[in-house]
Chain A
Amino acid sequence: MIQIRDLVMQLSGGGHTLTVLSGISLEIPDKQTVAIVGPSGSGKSTLLGLIAGLDRPTAGSIQIDGVEITDMPEAELARFRREKIGYVFQSFHLIPTLTAVENVAVPLELSGVADAVERAEALLDAVGLGDRRGHYPVQLSGGEQQRVAVARAFACRPPILLADEPTGNLDSANGRHVMELLLALHRDAGTTLILVTHEPQLASRMGRIISLRDGRIASDDVSRGGPMSQEQPR
C-alpha cells in the first residue's frame, strides 16, 4: 500500500523556483495497476521517482506499507529500494561495462543472494534473452536492452514495479513485447505496477489512470476495468 499526502516538489535553478508537484495526495493499494498520464512537464516522472525514493520531496509524505520514506536515512533508503522497488527507465540505464547477465545480477548481488548469476540467467531466459547473456548493452538492440532492464527490475521480486515510459524509446513491436512482460509479472507475481506514459493505448490497459496537470491530479479514474484489475478499496 502506497500512501501519498500533500506531496510538493520544487526545483530551484536559474534564480527562480519551479513547482513540479503542488500537493499530490493519493493511495495505491497493493497489486493495483496504475497509469500516470499527462502532458510533458506535468510532473509524472518526478512523482514516480519520489515513490522510488530516488529524490527527496520539498514537502509532504510518502508511506510504503506504513513506512515513511521521505525522511529515511540514505543507507536505509537504499535497502528499501532493493527490497520493495523495481524500476524501469525510459532510456534503460544499463551499466555499459557489465554484460546482460551481470546487469541483471547487480540487485541480487546487492541483496547478498548467493546464486545471483544463476538466477539472473534464469531471469534472462524468462525475458527471452537467454542466448544474449554475455552481450554488452551496446551489442543489444533497444528492445533487448529494455527487456534486460525489466529482468533487472524484477530480479529481487519487488512488490512494486515502477516504469517510466518503458516503451518510449522503442518501436511498437518491441514496445508491445516489453508491455506484455510487465503485465505478465503483475499477473504472475501480483506486483503493483505503476507506469508513466503518454500513450493512451498503453494507459488503457491499466486498472487505474491518474492524470496530472501542472503538478496536480486532474483526474483519477479508478472505475476502468483493466486486465486483472483488482478490487478497489472502499
Chain B
Amino acid sequence: MMGFSSRMAWRETRAGWRHFLFFLVCIAVGVGALVTVSVFAANVERTITREARSLMGGDIEVRLSRPISVEGRQVLESLAERGIAVTHASELIAMAAVQATADLPRPSQMSQVVELKAVEPTYPLYGQVGLDPDRPLHDLLAAASCGAMSCHGAVVQESLLIRLGLRPGQHLKIGEELFAITGLLRKEPDRMANAFSLGPRVMISQEGLAAAGLIKPGSRVRERYLMRIPPGSAVMPLVHELRGRLDKDQARVSSSHDAQPQLKRFLDQMGRYLGLVGLTALFVGGIGVATTVHAFMREKMATIAIMKTLGATTAVIIGIYLRQVLLLALLGSLLGAAVGLGLQQVMPGLVKTAFAIDLLEQIDFGATVSWPSLLVVVKGIVLGLLTAILFTLWPLLRVREIRPVVILRRDLAAMKQAQEAGHRSGLVGGRGSYDGISIAAATVTALGLGLLAVWQAGSWTVGLLYAMGLLAAVLILLGSARVLISLVRRMPRPRSLPLRQALGNLHRPGSQTTGIMVAIGRALMVTATVSILERALVEQVVTNRPDDAPTFFFIDIQPDQREGVLSLIHRQTGALDLDAIPLVRSRLASVNGQPVKAEEDAGASPADRDERRKNWYLTREYVLSFAEALPKGNELIKGTWWPAGLVPEKPLISIEEEAAKYLELDVGSTVELEIQGAVVAAEVSSIRKVEWGNFTTNFYMILSPGSIEGAPFTYVATARVRPDQEVPLQQAMVRAFPNVTAINIGDVLDSFTAMLDRLALAIRAVALFSVLSGAVVMGAALSATRYRRLYESVVFKALGATRGLLLRSFASEYALLGLAAGLIGLVLANVLAWGVLRFLFELDWSFHPAVVGLSLASTVGLTLAVGFVSTFRLLGQRPLPVLRHE
C-alpha cells in the first residue's frame, strides 16, 4: 500500500507541476518580453544621455543652413579668447564620380550620391573617429599630389567602395577636385546613425571642400560649429548669448543637454509601444494563467468541498489559493525578469545583425545593467504579479459555487463527467451565475488591466486606447468563439468518425476552445496587423508610384546652369517638356505681425502634439518656390490664384492647408519671410491642398512671380527616364555639372523600404513573444483536458481504433482551432490596420492575400505543432493501465 500511496502522491505532484509549469511559463514569457524591451530601451537611452556630447560633437552646436556671415564668423572667432574651442563642419549632399585611371577597369557604376562632410583639424572635439588605417584623421585628409594633379585625401564608408568597385588608394572626383581614398571611416561620433540616408559618408577637409567648389549661392548645406567649453563654465548662458549674437544668421544654437530630442523621443516612443506589444504577450499569458487556475480549481473541487464541510469559509479557501497564485506569479515574474536580463547580453549583437545599424557601436553601448534599469525590471515583475492576480480573480471566485454535498457522492468521476458533459448535476451552481460579486470581479479585472496598460504606456490616452482596443478584441474573439461553438454544436454530425470526434472536442463544455481561440487569435492579430501595415505603407510609397513619377531629381542647379542642365537631359533622353523649378530656402520672420523667435528652446519640447506641430511649422526651414500657374497635384480650397502673366504689385503667397491651419493663416493674412538676410512680406492669397504622395516637388509656400527677384535661388529639375538611360544620364550630368546632385528616386525608395522593414522587424520580434504566449496558453489548455483526452483515446483504442485514427481526429481538431482563431484574428487585424491606416496615415486599406494566407497557414501550423507536442504521448498509451486505474 505504501507503494501505491507514494505513487499517488507523486502523480498528484506531477499533475500539479504540469499546471504550475504552464502558469510559470505564461507569466515568464510576458514578463520576459516586457523586461527585455524596457531594459534595453532604458539602457540605450541612458547611454545616449551619457554620450550626448560626442553625439552632438560638442557642448554647444551652432547650426546654419547657409554659410555664416562675416559678423557671425567674428563672433565665433572671438570665443577663442575665452578658452572655447570651436570647430567647423560642413555637411552636404554631393555626387562622387569614379576617376578612371589606367589600372582601374571601367566600373558599371561611375557615380554615386554621397553625404559629404568637411571638417577642420580640430575635429572631433569629443569622441573618436574610427579609421582604418588607424592614423590621425588630419593626416588622412591632407592635401597631396596624385600623379600630375593635386588632390586631397578623403576617408569613406566601405559601402561606397563596394558600390563603385573601388579600393583604398584609388580616386574620386567630387565637384572640381580629385580626392584620393586614404582610409575607411568605421565610426563617426556625431553622425546620427540615420536609418535613412541618401548615400554613404565621405569625409574631407574644409580645404578640400573649398577646392571642390561645391558651395554656391543657395546650395543645400548644413554648416555646424561645434564648441568645447572649458571645464567648470556654464553652458546655458553661452547658449543664450550666442542665440542673441547670431540672431541675424538665423542660427540654431543648442546645448548637448537637449541634444537628440527627436532621437530620444523616437526611442522613448518606440520603447513604450514595443512595451505595449510586450504587455500583449503578458495579457495573452494571463489567459493561460486563468485556464490553468480554472483547471486546477476543478481538480481541487473535492478538497475544497471537504474543507467547506470542515467549516472553512469561501474567503479562507480563496485566500489559500490566492497565496499559491501569488507565489507562482512571483516565481514566474522572476524567471521572466531573469530571461529578460539574460537577453540583454545578446541584444546588441542581435539588434546589430537584424537591423544593421551601428548606433549601438557608435555610442559604445554596453550590455551592463545598472541600478536605474533595475527599476524597470521591478516594474516588469510588478506588472507580472498584478496581471496574474487580475486573471485569477474570476476562476478563484468559482470556489463560492462548490457545495459541500459534493463529497457525499461516492462517484467523483461520474460527477466530473457530468460537469464536462455540461449537465446540471445539482452539485455545482449554475455556470452562468452572473451575480454582483462576479460582475464586480470582472469590472475590477478590466479596470485593473486598463490601469496596467496606462502605467506601461505612460499616457492615459495611449494606455486607455490600447486597453479599450484589447478589450474590444477579446470580447469579439470571445463572442466569435461562442458563436462558432454553438454553430458546431448545431451542425449535423459529420459521417467521418475522426472529424466528428474533433468537432465534439471543440464544442463540448470545458473544451478550452474559447481560451485557446482568444489567446491565439489575439497573438495573431498583433503580428498580422504589423505585416498588413508594413505592406500597405510599402505599397503606398513604392508600388503605387504613379507612372509619371520622375526617376531623378537634380538638385542645386545654379541659375546659369539651368539651360545647360535641361538641354543635357533632353540630349540624353530625348525627353521634351522639361522644366526646372526655382527654389530658395527661408524661415518665417513673422506671422500676422507676430515676430517668430528664430530659436525656440529645443529642450522644452511641449508635451502637446498640436503645440509641437505648431512649433515645427513656425521654426522649420521652408523651401519656397514661385510659380505662374497652380502646380499639378495642387487644389485651391480657398482664395484665388494670381492671374497668369501678371506680376502682382505686392508679393502674394499661397499656403498649404495644414501649414495654414497650424500657423493660423487665412486668406488676407500677412507673413514675413527671411530669405538669406532679406525680409519679404507677402499677403496670403490662397490656401492649397497638396497631394504629397505624387513624387513631384511640392511646396508648403509658393510665392507669386517676381516676389523674390535677386534672391539666391537654385533650380530643381526632374526627369523620367528609361532604366537603361539612368547611368549614362547620371554620368553625363556629373561630368558636365559636378555641383549638381542627381538623386535617384528608386534608391530613396529602397532606403525607405529598408527602414520600414527594420522597424517592422523590431515590432514583429517583440510580437513573437505574444505568439509564444499563445502557444503556451494552448499548451496549458490542452494540458487541462489531458486526462480526458487520455481516457477517451484509450477507450477508443480498446474498441479497436488505431493510432492513425486518433491522430487524424486530434489533427482535425487542432487544425480547425487554428483555422477559426486565425480567421477571427485576421479579421480583427484587418479592421485594426484599416483604422490605423485611415486615421493615422490617411491611407486606404487594401486586402493582402499573401499576408492573410501566410498568417493563416502559420497559425494552423502552430496549433498543429503545439497540439501534437502536447498530446502525441497520449497516442502511444496502452489502454489497460489507464482503464484499470479509472
Contacts and interface: CB of A to CB of B under 8 A. Distances in A.
Contacts of A45: 884
Interface string B66-88: 00000000000000000000000
B421 A152 contact: no
B878 A54 contact: yes
B310 interface: no
Given A93-B883, A138-B418, A139-B423, A52 B798 contact: yes
A98 B505 CA distance: 11
Contact of A107 (B417, B420, B800, B881): B800
A74 interface: yes
A95 B795 contact: yes
Interface stretch (B704-712, B802-810, B832-840): B802-810
A188 B881 CA distance: 33
A93 B3 CA distance: 26
A49 B884 contact: yes
Nearest to B413: A91
B336 to A, nearest CB: 36
Interface residues of A, number: 40
B508 interface: yes
Contacts of A67: none
A119 interface: no
Interface string B822-856: 00000000000000000000000000000000000
A96 interface: yes
B797 interface: yes
Contacts of B879: 49, 54-55
A78 B425 CA distance: 35
Interface in A50-107: 50, 52, 54-56, 74-75, 78-83, 85, 87, 89, 91, 93, 95-98, 106-107
A78 B802 contact: yes
A149 B130 CA distance: 82
Contacts of B423: 136, 138-139
Nearest to B795: A93
Contacts of B413: 91
Interface residues of B, number: 35
Contacts of B804: 75
Nearest to B806: A78
Contact of A138 (B421, B792, B803): B421
B104 interface: no
Contacts of B418: 138
Interface string A23-59: 0000000000000000000000110011010111000
B273 interface: no
A233 interface: no
Given A136-B423, A138-B423, A78 B884 contact: no
A82 B801 CA distance: 8
Interface string B842-886: 000000000000000000000000000000000000111101101
A78 B883 contact: no
A110 B805 contact: yes
Contacts of B414: 138
A137 interface: yes
A96 B792 CA distance: 9
Interface in B1-38: 2-3, 6-7
A81 B880 contact: no
A89 B804 CA distance: 24
B3 A97 contact: no
Contacts of A87: 798-799
Contact of B799 (A55, A75, A106): A106
Contacts of A89: 883
Contacts of A107: 799-800
Contacts of B420: 96-97
A54 B802 contact: no
Given A14-B7, A56-B878, A110-B805, A82 B800 contact: yes
A168 B6 CA distance: 27
Contacts of B796: 95, 106, 110
B878 A55 contact: yes
B880 A152 contact: no
A75 B3 CA distance: 34
Contact of A13 (B7, B421, B795, B798): B7
B378 interface: no
A111 interface: yes
A96 B67 CA distance: 86
A79 B800 contact: yes
Given A89-B883, A136-B423, A138-B423, A97 B508 contact: yes
B800 A110 contact: yes
A91 B884 CA distance: 10
A137 B414 CA distance: 9
A24 B187 CA distance: 83
A174 to B, nearest CB: 15
Contacts of B121: none
Nearest to B884: A45
Interface in B490-513: 497, 504-505, 508
Given A14-B3, A109-B497, A78 B797 contact: yes
A55 B3 contact: no
B594 to A, nearest CB: 77
A86 to B, nearest CB: 9
Interface centre among A45, A56, A96, A152, by most B CB within 10 Å?
A: A96
A54 B798 contact: yes
A128 B878 CA distance: 33
Given A55-B879, A106-B497, A13 B799 contact: no
Contacts of A93: 795, 798, 883, 886
A109 B504 CA distance: 16
Interface in A100-148: 106-107, 109-111, 136-139
A121 B418 CA distance: 24
Given A14-B7, A138-B418, A78 B880 contact: no
B800 A75 contact: no
Contacts of B497: 106, 109-110
Contact of B417 (A55, A78, A79, A138): A138
Interface centre among B6, B796, B802, B881, by most A CB within 10 Å?
A: B802
Given A54-B879, A95-B792, A75 B421 contact: no
A110 B884 CA distance: 23
Nearest to A9: B880
B504 A82 contact: no
Interface string B115-148: 0000000000000000000000000000000000
Interface string B802-820: 1111000000000000000
Interface centre among A89, A91, A93, A111, by most B CB within 10 Å?
A: A93
Given A55-B881, A96-B417, A82 B799 contact: yes
Contacts of B799: 81-82, 87, 106-107, 110, 152
A14 B6 contact: yes
B880 A46 contact: yes
Contacts of B886: 91, 93
B421 A79 contact: no
Contact of B421 (A16, A80, A97): A97
Nearest to B791: A93
Given A54-B880, A97-B504, A138-B414, A78 B7 contact: no
A74 B3 CA distance: 31
Nearest to B423: A138
Given A49-B884, A55-B880, A97-B504, A111 B800 contact: yes
21 contacts: A13-B7, A14-B3, A14-B7, A45-B884, A49-B884, A50-B880, A52-B798, A54-B797, A54-B883, A75-B804, A81-B798, A89-B883, A93-B798, A106-B796, A110-B799, A110-B800, A136-B421, A137-B417, A137-B421, A138-B417, A138-B425
Given A50-B880, A54-B880, A96-B417, 13 more contacts: A49-B884, A54-B878, A56-B878, A81-B800, A87-B799, A91-B886, A93-B883, A96-B421, A97-B508, A110-B801, A136-B421, A138-B425, A156-B800
List the 7 closest pairs (A to B, CB-CB), nearest first. Answer: A82-B800, A55-B880, A49-B880, A14-B3, A54-B880, A81-B800, A78-B802
